[in-house]
A = this chain, B = another copy of it.
Amino acid sequence: MASALELLQQHYDSMPPVAVMGLSIEGYAGHRLTLRAPLDRHVNDKGCAFGGSLASLMTLAGWGLVWLELEAAGLEADIYVADSHLRYLAPLYDDLRVTASAAEGADWSGFADQLRTRGRARIELVARVPLPDGRIATDFSGRYVAIARPVAGAGHAG
């Protein structure tokens, strides 16, 4: 699994807005992806984590989780976030740590099957940023769309 995580880290770092975030992959197991970023790069005027940084990190955790699940299924696709809903429940005065997973009822094998057969699939994810005491700082739900990349040689005119 190490090489998929290394590839994902390279993917993240290749995007200019992500390269400046100081993001690292903490772990990926049981269909859950955890990312971290240091508070000092994401601090706002009140000394806590900036809401936009939390939104970015949660969006990226969902994106990376979809990428890893498709990689494990042997699929390649462009992955887009379609919508997201964030609730900022408590200020975070510590490093940012987010864990993303499928929403209740969402199904990775159905998602991969749909991408294979229709060339396009959608899945709902959730993500949470905990406070050091275990309460939730921010929670996120979002839908992601994967669009299969045309296979070389399989194209048609039009």
Partner of A86, one of B18, B45, B83: B83
Binary interface profile of A, 78-98, with partner B (CB < 8 Å = 1, else 0)? 101111111110010000000
Q: Say whether A52 faces chain B, with CB atoms less than 8 Å apart.
A: yes
Closest chain B residue, CB of each to CB of A52? B56
Which residues of A are interface residues toward B (Cβ below 8 A)? 11, 14-18, 20-21, 40-46, 50-53, 55-57, 59-60, 63, 78, 80-88, 91
Partner of A83, one of B21, B41, B88: B88
A46 to B78, CA, bound (A): 8
User: Are A50 and B15 neighbours in the complex by a CB distance under 8 Å?
Assistant: yes
- List of B residues within 8 angstroms of A50 by Cβ: 15, 17-18, 56
User: Are B45 and A14 neighbours in the complex by a CB distance under 8 Å?
Assistant: yes
Closest chain B residue, CB of each to CB of A41? B16
Closest chain B residue, CB of each to CB of A12? B45
- List of B residues within 8 angstroms of A85 by Cβ: 83-86
Q: A84-B86, A85-B83, A91-B80 are in contact. Are A43 and B15 (CB under 8 A)?
A: yes
